[in-house]
Structure 1
Amino acid sequence: MVDAEHWPGDERGAGPAPSGDAVGEGMGADASEGFIESQEGELGEVRIANEVVSTIAGLAAVEVEGVAGMTGGLAGGIAEMLGRRNLSRGVRVEVGQHQAAIDLFIVIQYGVRIPDVAWKVQENVKRQIETMTGLEVTEVNVHVQGVQLPQPERTEESRVR
């Protein structure tokens, strides 16, 4: 069973028609939607939800120093900066039986070297997904959506002396 999303202009979605939303937005009405089959044995099969892959990727991305947070992607824009509560919204996954491709939409901290942070994010996400799910990660695309500027420290002056 392959649950893959076809992106216009992208050759990765050449498989069967999509059966559900693989962007971490939840699972469909059919019990088989939103899941990837990872292993079949004598006792049965092991299935991993797409949401699990999205969450692993999001957590792996934000633990890299220099990443300020995740965004909701192109549609959400910078205004929809998300914290740790819903990391899968800044992650788009395309999964098959044995492979996964990941797109991450991140905001980085001001002052860091963007290519270095992006490479570390790619390495960490690939390692975590391969270790935890057994899937081969074919690509990790990092989309830097913005830079978080440092917030000046507020010193409240006393209103009375």
Structure 2
Amino acid sequence: MEQETVMREEKNSLGAIRIADDVVRIIAGLAATEVSGVVSMSGGVVGGITEKLGRKNLSKGVKVEVGEKEAAVDLFIVVEYGSRIPEVAAKIQDAVKSAIEKMTGLVVVEVNVNVQGVAFANELNEEENNNRVK
């Protein structure tokens, strides 16, 4: 099943400005991964597989609902062991809301953070070693 590309359109005196939902997903995903304590994005409940965010799918673990002027975001993340999850989640909410609002002009009405897993230091080191071998 192919995903339909939905676009937000705004018209002004010079023409139309269109922002695809995928753009909002990418902005949210990048903002979330920049928060300290976030190890990776998760494919969500359906995928069940987690991996580090790569350049191929920058919107992995992000779902958005975009209206004409508002947006709602659901994020699925993996946190680093030892991080205070409520603090990490609050920082993610602030970062995602700020990034989307600054870049698109949409009003973000909610940012839901779903913690799908915890990564331990030995798993992170193992994954880094595997990435070097490739």
Q: Distance in 1 between matches of 2:53 and 2:74?
A: 17
Partner of 2:131: none
Q: 1:80 aligns with which of 50, 61, 74?
A: 50
**Structure 2 residues not aligned, in runs of 5+:** 127-134
Which amino acid is 1:89 matched to?
Answer: K
1:147 has 2:118 as partner: yes
Partner of 1:95: 66
**Aligned sequence identity (%):** 54
Equivalent pairs counted in the alignment come to 124
Which amino acid is 1:36 matched to?
Answer: R
1:36 has 2:13 as partner: no
Map 1:9-158 → 2, pairs under 5 A:
28=4, 33-37=5-9, 39-77=10-48, 79-85=49-55, 86-151=57-122
Please identify runs of 4+ aligned residues in structure 1 that moved more than 3 A.
Answer: none
Give 1:67 deviation, angstroms.
0.1
User: Once superposed, what is the RMSD of the aligned Cα atoms?
Assistant: 1.9
Q: Distance in 2 between matches of 1:70 and 1:87?
A: 9
Bigger-Rg structure (1/2): 1
* 8 Å Cα contact 1:64/1:117 also seen in 2: yes
TM-score, normalising length: structure 2: 0.85
* 8 Å Cα contact 1:100/1:139 also seen in 2: yes
Which amino acid is 2:59 matched to?
Answer: S
**Structure 1 residues not aligned, in runs of 5+:** 1-20, 155-161
Give 1:34 deviation, angstroms.
1.8
Give the strand-richer structure, 1 or 2: 2
Of structures 1 and 2, the one scoring higher in RCO (CA 8 A, sep 6+) is 2
Give 1:80 deviation, angstroms.
3.2
SS in 1 for 2:59: helix
Q: Distance in 1 between matches of 2:29 and 2:50?
A: 15
